[in-house]
Amino acid sequence: MPHLEPDALALHAVGEPVTPAEQRHLAACDRCARELAALRSTAATARAGAGEALVPAPDAVWERIAAELGLAPDVRPGPAGPVVTEPGDGTGSARSGGAPVRGSRGRWLLAVAAGLVVGAVGGGAVVASVQRPAETVVAEARLDALPGWAASGDAWLEEGADGTRTLVVRVSPTEEDGFRAVWLLDQDATRLVSLGALDGDEGRFAVPPGLDLDEFPVVDVSAEPFDGDPAHSGDSIVRGALDRRA
């Protein structure tokens, strides 16, 4: 099963039911489970401000939210008042200031999950809109162990709205002398680009601007000795090719 869509994760975060297939996927996929936990934390932050006197986001901000989420023109923030979600009541209604929101319910819940949070401004509280994460996953790779290693991992490429790219690498714990380094290789493993040292089991690495990932699509994690030599040791732990999402 592919990774769960961001819209589905957002709705589950504010109480929408999870299907048995999605539940099985969440139990097996650390990445989706981690994203769902983060969204639930955001929703909890929004609910924590329910006792405050809130005002809707400014029209210009709401228009950007609506455009980003593809909301219908009739979906608008409610009157001043706390945003309250009621998951698991059979209807899962969402209210703003106690008034039920009817129609376009799922999209309103998605707007809540996108990050309506409470912030103090000048001694008062306002609802500030936090749009969806600016970075989108555009490619993924499964990292398989090379001979001599009992390891596994995965990697994914995030692309920001400003065009910046970040490679996230996660590798199961291994025992090696020295440290681990992350590389991008060409398909023949004859040319390579160093991204840096992997500190711990997971790391984030900036991809150099202008680097063609169609030319260097292979993610490689190597075991490196503390010998002062910046070249690849030739001892790769895991390796896998990035597969771009359609």
Q: Is 213 contained in some domain?
A: yes
Task: Quote the tokens at residue 220.
Answer: 């490689």
Q: Is 158 contained in some domain?
A: yes
Q: Is 227 contained in some domain?
A: yes
Task: Give me the domain span that covers residue 185.
Answer: 136-244
pLDDT reported for residue 48 = 58
Q: Model confidence over 69-116: pLDDT tens digits? A: 666 676 665 554 444 444 444 444 433 344 343 344 444 455 554 543
* CATH number of the domain to which 183 belongs: 2.60.40
Q: Is 54 contained in some domain?
A: no
pLDDT reported for residue 123 = 37
Q: Is 160 contained in some domain?
A: yes
The total number of structural domains that make up the chain? 2
C-alpha radius of gyration, the chain, whole number: 22
